[in-house]
């Protein structure tokens, strides 16, 4: 039942994040299993985005320990690392709740920026690049191939040379995921990737996530409000409410947890059965 | 009904114009009404109440006109109409001001009366012609802009754009060839004596183009608003001047050193300030620019303070001096000695330096570091989530820009032979920034056009005296109304899978760091 505890790629222990008097995340611990798709759910303001911001280094957690273990055996303590190192070395990539693409750059350029670090070392801090040395040219060609691979996966090859801001919303969401994947992450954190998608786009997204899990050494953590998406693709669900974990288990187990239902319906635990009767569950 | 409306509007406009006139009165009471004059035994105050009256009346009338016809029209006016009216009224004000100053000066007490000279009429005609041309250009361009905004398929605008596309490709090459040929054309045309002035101007323009390109890296690509760019120009100039003074080094030896020193200064200044963003960054860079100047001004023992440094060595051509001597350039090449040789040489030196700047910038743009600069301008947070060290990336932009500023500075020093802190005031930073912004953030060719227009035009209209400031202010207003993102506002992608088409400016971010 607790498969994710056996070989976790990310371990969160006693994570607490305070903003002044507000405790956004309170003593939260969980494991993310390697190769799983894990869903982090909870009502609005539960602290889900805050957890992501702590994991990816955008916030420095007030307390707690965050450990990433690569399949190669290396491990990293995220709470000590600045945000760009978390992406570069610990290989945790993310997307944002409000899309953050480089709108004035083309789709392909967005994916090239994501491969900044390998390209940078190939260009020998730009010196080899300025003189157009072969090593850099080869590295760049490989980067373009890598980008094309992801463009193909998100079905945007035709639009590779259009500015990212020109894409429809659903395509922008998928491009942001592809861009994160171009960094070669071990953990991919997606903040509400299905928000604002129509059913067809939502199905495409599910397929993309399933593909990533199957073909790449990347574990996916996603924040999601759409229960049908959560139930369909996730292996493991963690439920937050007011910064605390109220449930942690397989989708089926979580679905029938009275605490979860109570949190989502906004009532106290004891009243759940009453409310369930009323709404005819 | 409409009577009622227009009557109430008349009343409101009257009130508004009255307030404007009162404010003008309060302001001009001191600013225009009184003037200190040097008189025997000290200063005397000279009163100019007629000028105050004229100002107040002009403001009242102008405000009234704007109120009645521009700001609250009964029928919505088109952008074209409003802009043309704006342009015309500014130009009309300019002409009125000129006329008042020139011919009614005695009446208004503005300045001593002058006899009408024949070339005054020339200037008036020129101003009027400028007004007409500006109006026509504004109408045409705004008409195009409106058509483009209306979604009616490929219209005239699209076809014009398509027609201009090959121009964009060949323009840089043509400009480059022209730049190489300039000295010969000038000498052929004006003789070596007459062309000297224009060659000097061309050197000045090229210096500003190089500075514009350097600053473009920082402001245009990385989106960091740097108001103290002149500091690096100063560091470059003083590095060379001091190195030559204390160690007797020559220009070619000092050129790389000056660039490296300026880049180091860029990093030293950049490191603490680059965690600031937007307005704060602008203010701190401005302050740093001033600090450098003030240090140069006050460290008398080392830099000579306000006296500056003179006797800075001239550049040599592989050790050959441009002088009258037996081993000078003219003698060695069997030419008649002429001071124009050195000017031509300086022209080619700065042309080569500018072209190198351009080449390196274009190259860097296509390298990961350049893409990271642009990504930083687009979205800094996204950059960090992709593992880009934003501090280092900003520093590299700052240092690269500073380096080119330093190169340009040491060229400036060798050209002038004399430098003092006075050449590195804030206004220089402002001019360079204006070139970058007018040209279009991030656009290399835009910088060239803007520098030619701003520096070249500014010198060309020297005869207009103080009015050239007004003309240039007007030009800038027109450009900023018509093209708020600068003359060349499309961004060319750095890499293409199949094609590379320009990205229109409204999608490109300006950056806030
Ligand atoms: N930088 C911050 N400063 C102060 N309070 C913050 C900050 N970031 C988040 N919070 C607070 O922390 C709480 C949790 O916010 P968070 O954005 O993590 O919620 P969420 O679960 O992602 O909600 P949603 O589903 O609406 O995205 C909220 O009360 C929010 O106001
Ligand atoms: Mg959120």
Q: What is the pLDDT of residues B38-65, one digit of tens each?
A: 777 777 777 778 777 887 888 888 888 7
Residues B183 and B186: their CA atoms lie apart, in Å, by 5
Are the beta carbons of A96 and B495 separated by less than 8 Å? no
Residues of chain B with pLDDT > 70, as a percent, come to 73
Distance of CA B92 to the CA centre of its chain: 25
- To the nearest 10 degrees (0 to 180), the angle between helices B49-65 and B2-31 is 150
Which among B55, B129, B124 has a CA at the least distance from the CA of B467?
B124
Closest ligand 1 atom to A240 CA: 21
**The residue count for chain A:** 281
- Give the CA dihedral B238, B241, B242, B244, nearest 10 degrees: 150
pLDDT (average), residues B403-429 = 91
Q: What pLDDT is stored for residue B410 in this prediction?
A: 93
**Which segment of A45-54, A146-155, B110-119, B278-287 scores lowest on mean pLDDT?**
B110-119
**Which segment of A67-81, B185-199, B367-381 scores lowest on mean pLDDT?**
B185-199
- Dist. CA B380 → ligand 1 center (Å): 21
Are the beta carbons of A130 and B363 separated by less than 8 Å? yes
Confidence of residue B154 (pLDDT cuts 50, 70, 90): very low
Strands A37-41 and A219-223: parallel
- Give the CA dihedral A29, A34, A35, A40, nearest 10 degrees: 10
Q: What pLDDT is stored for residue B109 in this prediction?
A: 47
Taking CA A53 as the corner, what is the angle to CA A50 and CA A56, rounded to the nearest 5 degrees? 150
Contact A179, A210 (CB under 8 A): no
- Dist. CA A191 → ligand 2 center (Å): 7
Q: What pLDDT is stored for residue B490 in this prediction?
A: 78
Contact B396, A116 (CB under 8 A): no
Task: Tell which wins on pLDDT, B510 or A51.
Answer: A51
User: Pick from B379, B390, B507: which is nearest to A84 by CB?
Assistant: B390
Is the pLDDT at B114 greater than 60? The verdict is no
Is the pLDDT at B408 greater than 60? The verdict is yes
Paired residues of A244 in beta bridges: A241
Residues B145 and B153: their CA atoms lie apart, in Å, by 14
The DSSP 8-state label assigned to residue B38 in this structure reads E
Confidence of residue A132 (pLDDT cuts 50, 70, 90): low
Largest Cα–Cα distance of chain A, in whole Å?
74
pLDDT (average), residues B112-128 = 53
Confidence of residue B159 (pLDDT cuts 50, 70, 90): very low
User: What's the token pair of residue B221?
Assistant: 């690509």
Taking CA B258 as the corner, what is the angle to CA B300 and CA B416, rounded to the nearest 5 degrees? 65
Q: Considering the entire predicted model, what is its pTM?
A: 0.76
Q: What pLDDT is stored for residue B107 in this prediction?
A: 46
Strands A37-41 and A236-241: parallel
Task: Convert chain A into a string of H (helix), E (strand) and C (coil).
Answer: CCHHHHCEEEEEEEEEEEECCEEEEEEEEEEEECCCEEEEECCCCCCHHHHHHHHCCCCCCCEEEEEEECCCCCEEEHHHCCHHHHHHCCCEEECCCCCCCCCCCEHHHHHHHHCHHHHHHHCCCCHHHHCCCHHHHHHHHHHHHHHHHHHHHCCCHHHCCCEHHHCCHHHHHHHHHHHHHCCCCCEEEEECCCCCCCHHHHHHHHHHHHHHHHHCCCEEEEECCCHHHHHHHCCEEEEEECCEEEEEECHHHHHCCHHHHHHHHCCCHHHHHHHHHHHCC
- Dist. CA A48 → ligand 2 center (Å): 6
Q: What pLDDT is stored for residue B459 in this prediction?
A: 74
Q: What pLDDT is stored for residue B52 in this prediction?
A: 79
B/e letters for A238-254, b = 16+ CB within 10 Å, e = fewer, are bbbbebbbbbbbebeeb
Helix (H, G, I), strand (E, B) or coil at B36: strand
- To the nearest 10 degrees (0 to 180), the angle between helices B278-298 and B230-247 is 30
The number of C-alpha atoms within 13 Å of A224 and in the hemisphere containing its C-beta is 27
Residues B373 and B393: their CA atoms lie apart, in Å, by 7
Q: From the CB of A226, is ligand 1 less than 6 Å away?
A: no
Contact B232, B239 (CB under 8 A): no
Residues 6+ apart with CB under 8 A from A142: none
Are the beta carbons of A126 and B386 separated by less than 8 Å? no
**Which segment of B23-32, B242-251, B422-431, B504-513 scores lowest on mean pLDDT?**
B504-513
Is the pLDDT at B156 greater than 90? The verdict is no
Helix (H) or strand (E) holding B322: none
Are the beta carbons of A106 and B360 separated by less than 8 Å? no
pLDDT (average), residues A46-57 = 93
Q: What pLDDT is stored for residue B386 in this prediction?
A: 94
Q: What pLDDT is stored for residue B110 in this prediction?
A: 46
pLDDT (average), residues B305-328 = 77
Helix (H, G, I), strand (E, B) or coil at B321: coil
- Structure confidence by residue, pLDDT tens digits, A248-270: 999 888 888 888 888 776 666 66
Q: From the CB of A49, is ligand 1 less than 6 Å away?
A: yes
Closest chain A residue to B391, measured at CA: A84
- Dist. CA A48 → ligand 1 center (Å): 8
User: What's the token pair of residue B130?
Assistant: 């400028």
- Which is it for the CA torsion B258, B261, B266, B267, positive or negative? positive
- Sheet strands (E) in B332-404: none
Question: Is any Cβ of chain A less than 8 angstroms from the Cβ of B490?
Answer: no
Is the pLDDT at B71 greater than 70? The verdict is no
Report chain B residues whose CB lies below 8 A from the CB of A161. 493, 496-501
Kindly report the number of other CB atoms within 10 A of residue A274's CB atom: 10
- Structure confidence by residue, pLDDT tens digits, B328-379: 666 667 676 777 778 888 999 999 999 999 999 998 998 899 999 999 999 9
Distance of CA B120 to the CA centre of its chain: 28
Task: Tell which wins on pLDDT, B310 or A94.
Answer: A94
Q: Is A50 exposed, middle or buried (0-12, 13-18, 19+ CB in 10 A)?
A: buried
| A37 Ramachandran zone, left/alpha/beta (phi>0; psi -120 to 50) | beta
Mutation site for A-interface testing, chosen from B223, B263, B362, B368 by largest number of A Cβ within 10 Å? B368
Residues of chain A with pLDDT > 70, as a percent, come to 90
Q: What pLDDT is stored for residue A273 in this prediction?
A: 64
Residue with tokens 């060239």: B448
Homologous superfamily of the A1-91+184-281 domain (CATH): P-loop containing nucleotide triphosphate hydrolases (3.40.50.300)
Q: What pLDDT is stored for residue B111 in this prediction?
A: 47
pLDDT (average), residues A55-69 = 93
Q: From the CB of A60, is ligand 1 less than 6 Å away?
A: no
Is the pLDDT at B162 greater than 60? The verdict is no
Domain ranges in chain A? 1-91+184-281, 101-183
Closest ligand 1 atom to A43 CA: 25
To test ligand 1's pocket by mutation, which of A20, A49, A56, A239 has the most ligand atoms within 8 angstroms of CB?
A49
């Amino acid at each position: 039942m607790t498969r994710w505890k056996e070989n976790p790629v990310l371990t969160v222990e006693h994570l607490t994040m305070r903003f002044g008097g507000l405790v956004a995340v309170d003593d939260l611990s969980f494991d993310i299993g390697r190769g799983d798709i894990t869903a982090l759910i909870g009502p609005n303001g539960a602290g889900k985005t805050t957890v992501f911001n702590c994991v990816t280094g955008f916030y420095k957690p007030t307390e707690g320990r965050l450990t990433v273990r690569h399949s190669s055996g290396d491990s990293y303590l995220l709470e000590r690392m600045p945000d760009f190192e978390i992406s570069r070395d610990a290989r945790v990539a993310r997307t944002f709740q409000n899309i953050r693409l480089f709108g004035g750059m083309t789709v392909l350029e967005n994916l090239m920026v994501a491969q900044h670090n390998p390209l940078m070392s190939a260009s020998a801090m730009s010196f080899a690049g300025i003189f157009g040395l072969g090593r850099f040219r080869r590295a760049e060609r490989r980067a373009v191939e890598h980008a094309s691979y992801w463009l193909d996966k998100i079905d945007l090859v035709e639009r590779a040379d259009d500015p990212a801001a020109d894409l429809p919303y659903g395509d922008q969401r998928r491009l942001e995921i592809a861009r994160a994947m171009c960094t070669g992450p071990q953990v991919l954190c997606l903040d509400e990737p299905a928000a604002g998608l129509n059913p067809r786009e939502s199905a495409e997204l599910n397929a993309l996530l399933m593909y990533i899990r199957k073909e790449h050494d990347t574990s996916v953590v996603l924040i999601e409000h759409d229960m049908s998406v959560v139930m369909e693709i996730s292996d493991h669900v963690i439920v937050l409410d007011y910064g605390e974990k109220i449930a942690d288990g397989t989708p089926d187990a979580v679905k029938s947890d009275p605490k979860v239902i109570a949190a989502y319906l906004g009532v106290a635990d004891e009243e759940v059965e009453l409310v369930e009767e009323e709404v005819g569950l | 009904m409409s009577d009622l409306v227009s009557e109430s509007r008349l009343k409101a406009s009257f009130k508004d114009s009255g307030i404007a006139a009162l404010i003008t009165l309060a302001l001009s009471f001191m600013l225009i009404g009184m003037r200190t004059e040097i008189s025997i035994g000290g200063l005397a105050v000279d009163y100019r109440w007629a000028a105050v009256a004229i100002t107040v009346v002009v403001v009242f009338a102008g405000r009234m006109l704007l109120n009645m016809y521009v700001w609250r029209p009964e029928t919505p006016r088109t952008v074209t109409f409003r802009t043309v009216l704006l342009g015309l009224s500014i130009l009309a004000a300019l002409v009125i001001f000129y006329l008042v100053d020139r011919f009614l000066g005695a009446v208004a007490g503005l300045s001593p009366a002058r006899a009408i000279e024949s070339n005054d009429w020339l200037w008036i005609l020129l101003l009027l012609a400028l007004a007409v041309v500006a109006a026509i250009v504004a109408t045409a361009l705004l008409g195009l802009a409106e058509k483009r905004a209306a979604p009616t398929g490929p219209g005239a605008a699209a076809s014009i754009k398509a027609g201009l596309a090959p121009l964009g490709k060949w323009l840089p090459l043509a400009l480059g060839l022209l730049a190489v040929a300039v000295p010969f054309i000038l000498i052929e045309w004006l003789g070596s004596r007459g062309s000297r002035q224009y060659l000097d101007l061309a050197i000045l323009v090229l210096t500003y183009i190089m500075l514009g390109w350097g600053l473009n890296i920082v402001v245009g690509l990385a989106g960091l608003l740097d108001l103290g760019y002149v500091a690096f120009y100063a560091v470059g100039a003083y590095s060379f001047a001091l190195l030559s003074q204390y160690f007797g080094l020559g220009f070619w030896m000092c050129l790389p050193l000056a660039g490296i020193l300026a880049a180091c200064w860029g990093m030293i200044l950049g490191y603490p300030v680059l965690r600031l963003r937007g307005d704060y960054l602008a203010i701190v860079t401005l302050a740093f620019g001033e600090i450098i100047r003030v240090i140069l001004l006050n460290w008398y023992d080392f830099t000579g303070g306000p006296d500056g440094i003179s006797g800075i060595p001239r550049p040599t051509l592989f050790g050959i001096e441009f002088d009258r001597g037996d081993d000078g350039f003219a003698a060695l090449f069997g030419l008649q000695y002429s001071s124009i040789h050195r000017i031509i040489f300086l022209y080619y030196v700065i042309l080569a330096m500018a072209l190198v700047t351009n080449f390196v910038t274009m190259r860097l743009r296509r390298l990961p570091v350049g893409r990271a600069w642009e990504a930083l301008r687009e979205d800094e947070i996204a950059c960090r989530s992709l593992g880009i060290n934003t501090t280092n990336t900003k520093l590299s932009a700052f240092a690269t820009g500073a380096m080119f500023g330093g190169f340009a500075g040491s060229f400036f020093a060798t050209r002038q032979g004399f430098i003092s802190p006075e050449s590195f005031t804030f206004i220089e930073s402002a001019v360079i920034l204006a070139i970058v912004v007018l040209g279009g953030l991030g656009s290399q060719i835009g910088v060239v056009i803007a520098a030619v227009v701003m520096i070249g035009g500014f010198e060309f209209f020297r005869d207009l005296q103080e009015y050239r400031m007004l003309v240039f202010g007007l030009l800038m207003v027109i450009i900023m109304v018509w093209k708020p993102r600068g003359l060349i506002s499309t961004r060319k992608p750095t890499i293409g899978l199949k094609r590379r088409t320009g990205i229109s400016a409204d999608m490109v971010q300006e950056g806030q760091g």
